[in-house]
Amino acid sequence: MKNSKFKIQKWISAFFIFHFSFFISCSIPNLEKPECTEARNAVKEFYSFHFGNDMRPSEEYLEKRKEYLTDDWKFFVSKNLQDKRDLFTLTEDYPKAFRTGECEVVESNRTIFQVVFFWKDDVRTEQRETRVEMIKENGKWLINKTF
Contact assessment for residue 49 and residue 67, using Cβ atoms and an 8 Å cutoff: no
Exposure string over 117-131, b if 16+ CB within 10 A, otherwise e = bebeeeeeeeeebbe
Q: Say which CATH topology domain 45-147 has.
A: Nuclear Transport Factor 2; Chain: A, (3.10.450)
Q: What mean pLDDT comes out for the span 96-124?
A: 97
CA atoms of 29 and 3, how far apart (whole Å): 43
CA distances from 37 to 84, 99, 105 (A): 32, 14, 11
133 contact partners, CB below 8 Å, separation of at least 6: 106, 110, 111, 112, 143, 144, 145, 146, 147
CA atoms of 106 and 104, how far apart (whole Å): 6
pLDDT of residue 82: 96
Domain map (residue ranges) of the chain: 45-147
Hey, which residues does 135 pair with through a beta bridge? 110, 142
pLDDT of residue 10: 59
Is the predicted pLDDT of residue 13 greater than 60, yes or no?
no
pTM, two decimals, is 0.79
Model pLDDT for residues 22-48, shown as the tens digit of each residue: 445 555 666 899 999 999 999 999 999
Contact assessment for residue 92 and residue 85, using Cβ atoms and an 8 Å cutoff: yes
Model pLDDT for residues 126-142, shown as the tens digit of each residue: 999 999 999 999 999 99
